[in-house]
């Protein structure tokens, strides 16, 4: 690694402290990660075990195609990165998770997810647990083509992610630089239920409405989000942080 490309650690918190959007903080993080050949991040609140999908506070630059596949394929319950963050208090590399050093031996489904990420150039990286006041738990994951983070890279990446997370979290509640679609409560409910893998019949039964009404709300949400289909509507709603946990 070229020493001249090493990020200015003390300058990074000052730089992002003057930024006014989560995406701008993410762009600064990407520039700081570049010397370590990491080009992708996902930062936010740690999702609960009963709904292991991106929640209201999740900021990520994963490709839309990946997010769509992740949700449509119901991959949340089989995400080894989330599992590693839940079980460990220190960062774990993707190779350590794959090798079974994160407190569990990855299942076949978890290995499949890691393999899928590797095929699109995200073969190495770091899963970083984040702890805050009043029991708050956050998650940060950075990845890219590699190489696998060495001890120095781990320390630097953890520092960068911690500060990026804290700034993004502070901005999250007040960020208003994008005109967001206004989804109704029922539209958010059906999208959230579909994200969890529920069928139209199951959603209708739980909400005490007809299947036809469920599909009416899906179509309204799809139109408002300018999505081509239901899965894309869910992905866009997640990316725009319109769905609660």
Q: Residue 82 pLDDT > 80, yes or no?
A: yes
What does the pLDDT average to over 125-141?
A: 94
Domain co-membership, 125 together with 230? no
Domain co-membership, 133 together with 195? no
CATH no. for residue 26?
3.30.450.80
Domain co-membership, 72 together with 147? yes
Q: Would residue 179 count as lying in a domain?
A: no
Least confident of 47-51, 145-149, 198-202: 47-51
Domain co-membership, 27 together with 60? yes
Domain co-membership, 115 together with 163? yes
Q: How confident is the model at residue 5 (pLDDT cuts 50, 70, 90)?
A: low
Model pLDDT, residue 6: 63
End-to-end C-alpha distance for the chain, whole angstroms: 40
Query: Measured between alpha carbons, how far is 223 from 211 in angstroms, rounded to an integer?
Result: 18
**Between 125 and 134, where is the model more confident?**
125
Burial class for 181, CB neighbours closer than 10 Å (0-12, 13-18, 19+): middle
3-state helix, strand, coil in the chain (%, to 5): 55, 10, 35
Number of domains in the chain: 2
Closest CA to 234 of 205, 202, 193, 201: 193
Least confident of 68-72, 111-115, 163-167, 173-177: 173-177
Q: Would residue 88 count as lying in a domain?
A: yes
CATH no. for residue 234?
1.10.10.10
What does the pLDDT average to over 77-102?
A: 96
**Between 143 and 134, where is the model more confident?**
143
pTM: 0.76
Q: Residue 178 pLDDT > 60, yes or no?
A: no
What does the pLDDT average to over 131-144?
A: 93
- Per-residue pLDDT tens over the stretch 167-176: 999 998 675 4
Q: Which domain holds residue 228?
A: 185-239
Least confident of 60-64, 67-71, 111-115: 67-71
Q: Would residue 200 count as lying in a domain?
A: yes
Q: Which residues pair with 124 in a beta bridge?
A: 144
Q: Residue 4 pLDDT > 70, yes or no?
A: no
Percent of the chain with pLDDT over 70: 93
Q: Residue 105 pLDDT > 90, yes or no?
A: yes
Domain co-membership, 68 together with 148? yes
> Between the CA atoms of 111, 115, 116 and 117, what dihedral angle is there, to the nearest 10 degrees?
100
Q: Would residue 178 count as lying in a domain?
A: no
Domain co-membership, 57 together with 27? yes
Q: Would residue 180 count as lying in a domain?
A: no
Q: Residue 81 pLDDT > 90, yes or no?
A: yes
Q: Would residue 109 count as lying in a domain?
A: yes
Q: Would residue 30 count as lying in a domain?
A: yes
Q: Which residue, 172, 199, 214, sits at the end of a domain?
A: 172
Domain co-membership, 162 together with 199? no
Query: Measured between alpha carbons, how far is 119 from 66 in angstroms, rounded to an integer?
Result: 11
Domain co-membership, 63 together with 148? yes
């Amino acid at each position: 690694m070229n020493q001249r490309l090493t990020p200015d650690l003390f300058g990074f918190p000052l730089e992002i402290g003057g930024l006014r959007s989560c995406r701008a903080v993410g762009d600064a993080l990407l520039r700081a990660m570049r010397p370590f050949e990491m080009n992708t991040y996902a930062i936010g609140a740690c999702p609960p075990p009963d709904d292991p999908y991106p929640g209201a506070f999740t900021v990520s630059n994963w490709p839309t195609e990946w997010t769509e596949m992740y949700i449509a394929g119901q991959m949340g319950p089989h995400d080894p990165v989330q599992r590693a963050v839940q079980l460990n208090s220190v960062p774990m590399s993707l190779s350590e998770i794959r090798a079974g050093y994160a407190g569990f031996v990855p299942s076949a489904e978890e290995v499949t997810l890691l393999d899928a990420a590797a095929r699109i150039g995200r073969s190495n990286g770091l899963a970083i647990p984040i702890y805050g006041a009043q029991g708050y738990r956050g998650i940060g994951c950075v990845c890219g083509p590699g190489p696998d983070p060495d001890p120095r890279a781990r320390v630097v990446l953890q520092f960068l992610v911690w500060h990026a997370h804290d700034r993004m979290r502070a901005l999250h509640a007040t960020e208003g630089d994008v005109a967001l679609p206004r989804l109704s409560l029922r539209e958010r409910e059906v999208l959230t239920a579909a994200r969890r893998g529920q069928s139209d019949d199951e959603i209708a039964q739980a909400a005490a409405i007809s299947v036809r009404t469920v599909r009416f709300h899906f179509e309204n949400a799809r139109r408002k989000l300018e999505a081509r289909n239901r899965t894309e509507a869910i992905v866009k709603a997640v990316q725009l942080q319109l769905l609660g946990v």
